[in-house]
Chains A and B, each alone.
Chain A
Amino acid sequence: MRKLALSLLILQLSMADSGFCAERALAVVIEDPYIELHSGPGRGYPIFYVAERGEQIEVLKRRTDWFKIRVRHGEEGWVNDTQLARTFQLNGEPIELPGYSLADYGERRWEFGVLYGDFGGANVVSTYGAFSMTENLSVELWLSDMLGRFSNSQLVNVNIVHMLFPEWRASPFFTLGTGVIHTEPKGTIVATTDRTDNLAHVGVGVRTYITRRLLFRAEYKTYVVFTSRDDNQEISEWKAGFSFFF
């Protein structure tokens, strides 16, 4: 009974989510001499149908830069954004596709990324989420996993990032932040205990817009760990990776 109910629920939800509800379709008219319908959302999938100028089509859904459309005869296929951009709506207005260009990058709000690098000799894998407050300023929350020979650590920190030239394709930035680091020495080292310390950091880096929603990011940070010992510990870190924005 339980399994049956669960599978029914999954079926319902997948039906609600998938193409069974074709109501939310947008009708447009082809302006190009013709458009090509591919069997899948990618340039490598074969073209199996060609619709002519003046024909009305329905736009059903989108994946990356491809749109699933339905032509009048009921054939369904995928059209790329450059072809769909050359259609107009039934009220005669040209269609405006929300694109992902350098200009959209300037207006981004949210950003997520994954970076990999070296944290004082240990491997570090970091993920972050960022929210842009202005063109120049953003706040970021980072989660990092450091895996070293002698100890493993986890780091949570918040940053303020200042982009110097946000309109440039590759823009340098400064960052300043604070956080908490939890370190677990490896079992083979004697008489050490786990410890949690606060830290602060400054850093510089560069962000480069690559294509669509994709960015390349590289940065160098120097951390000061406020340990309970006599001396604070200084750690330098570099890392590089990719991010994407919304």
Chain B
Amino acid sequence: MESRIFVLLLIAGLILATLSGCGTNRVVQQDGERPAVIEPEVARRDISIGDIDTENFEVGGFIGMMSVEDFGVNTVIGARLAYHMTEDLFVELSAGRADTEQTSFERLSGAAQLLTEADRELTYYNVSLGYNVLPGESFFGEGRALNTTFYVIGGVGKTNFAGDNRFTLNLGLGLRLIPRDWLAVHADIRDHIFDIDLLGQSKTSHNFEAHIGVTFFF
């Protein structure tokens, strides 16, 4: 049954691809029987600059490691959506989740549990403003060049962890490799800063995350 659904999806994809303009005839037919005296070099097309495809959005996912203070280093997965306002500035909405492990105290003491299993899951979302710095090319061997840019990024958001929602600042640095115009590979380091009062007194915790991701421009 499921494979049928995917076959249907495939057909729908093919139809979409056809409708979106692939395979339409490039040659514009001349009207009438009379042979043209001068062949125009290029067929006129009724396309205005407004019809040009704009690709300012970037969507994708990432996977990496997140160090949650006192709760170990764990796998984090997430998704991001960015909108590029200018060649320098972009806004990004991202969300991620990680399962954390026991603290050393919990492991050593044997019985004491600080958190329930459900509270050990960390989820976050944030909205950030990014600024592209150091755009340029990187080279693989002799003949291959790849567009790259670093970016600095920072923003605000919310982290749900240990049974509470916590206001979170994030600051980070990323590298965007652009092998194709529509494809980018990211490597990011991000610090998630929030206050936590789980262990008696309130303290500011720094939770570093390093991840790699793939995004598509559309």
Q: Which residues of A contact B (CB under 8 A)?
A: 1-2, 5-6, 8-9, 12-21, 23-27, 39-46, 56, 59-68, 90-91, 95-98, 114, 116, 122-123, 125, 127, 145, 147, 152, 186-187, 211-214, 242, 244
Inter-chain contact B17/A64, CB cutoff 8 Å:
no
Q: Chain B contacts of A61 at CB under 8 A? A: 52-55, 181
Inter-chain contact B218/A45, CB cutoff 8 Å:
no
Whole-angstrom distance from the CB of A21 to the nearest CB of chain B? 5
Question: B14, B89, B158, B181: which contacts A18 (Cβ < 8 A)?
Answer: B181
Q: A42-B149, A43-B87 are in contact. Are A26 and B127 (CB under 8 A)?
A: no
Which residues of B, 131-178, contact A by the 8 Å Cβ criterion?
A: 132, 134-137, 145, 147, 149, 156-158, 163-167, 178
Q: Chain B contacts of A123 at CB under 8 A? A: 156, 167
Q: A26-B45, A61-B181, A147-B165 are in contact. Are A12 and B10 (CB under 8 A)?
A: yes
Q: A9-B9, A21-B22 are in contact. Are A59 and B89 (CB under 8 A)?
A: no
Question: B42, B47, B91, B180: which contacts A114 (Cβ < 8 A)?
Answer: B91
Inter-chain contact A244/B83, CB cutoff 8 Å:
yes
Q: Chain A contacts of B135 at CB under 8 A? A: 40, 42-45
Inter-chain contact A63/B6, CB cutoff 8 Å:
no
Inter-chain contact B53/A62, CB cutoff 8 Å:
yes
Whole-angstrom distance from the CB of B85 to the nearest CB of chain A? 5
Which residue from chain A places its CB closest to the CB of B12 in the assembled complex?
A: A9
Which residue from chain A places its CB closest to the CB of B178 in the assembled complex?
A: A40
Whole-angstrom distance from the CB of A188 to the nearest CB of chain B? 8
Identify 27 residue pairs between A and B in the complex whose beta-carbon atoms are under 8 Å apart, listed by A's number. Answer: A2-B2, A2-B6, A5-B7, A5-B10, A8-B13, A14-B216, A17-B20, A18-B181, A19-B181, A19-B182, A23-B21, A24-B52, A25-B45, A26-B45, A26-B47, A26-B49, A59-B52, A61-B53, A62-B53, A63-B56, A68-B181, A116-B156, A147-B167, A186-B164, A213-B85, A214-B85, A244-B85
Q: A39-B137, A212-B86 are in contact. Are A98 and B182 (CB under 8 A)?
A: no
Inter-chain contact A40/B53, CB cutoff 8 Å:
no
Inter-chain contact A62/B17, CB cutoff 8 Å:
no
Q: Chain B contacts of A26 at CB under 8 A? A: 45, 47-49, 51-52
Which residue of A45, A46, A95, A122 has the most chain B CB atoms within 10 A of its CB atom? Answer: A45
Question: B51, B55, B56, B178: which contacts A24 (Cβ < 8 A)?
Answer: B51
Inter-chain contact A42/B17, CB cutoff 8 Å:
no
Inter-chain contact B47/A24, CB cutoff 8 Å:
yes
Which residues of B, 1-50, contact A by the 8 Å Cβ criterion?
A: 2-3, 6-7, 9-10, 13-14, 16-17, 20-22, 24, 26, 41-42, 44-45, 47-50
The 3 closest A-B pairs by CB, nearest first: A44-B135, A5-B6, A147-B167
Which residue from chain A places its CB closest to the CB of B126 in the assembled complex?
A: A125
Is B84 at the interface (CB under 8 A from chain A)?
yes
Give Cα A88 to B104, complex, Å.
69
Give Cα A59 to B50, complex, Å.
11
Inter-chain contact B84/A63, CB cutoff 8 Å:
yes
Q: Chain B contacts of A68 at CB under 8 A? A: 181
Q: Chain B contacts of A62 at CB under 8 A? A: 52-55
Which residue from chain B places its CB closest to the CB of A114 in the assembled complex?
A: B127
Is B129 at the interface (CB under 8 A from chain A)?
yes
Question: A98, A152, A242: which contacts B50 (Cβ < 8 A)?
Answer: A98
Which residue from chain A places its CB closest to the CB of B7 in the assembled complex?
A: A5
Question: A23, A45, A125: which contacts B147 (Cβ < 8 A)?
Answer: A45
Q: A62-B55, A125-B157 are in contact. Are A16 and B149 (CB under 8 A)?
A: no
Give Cα A122 to B195, complex, Å.
13
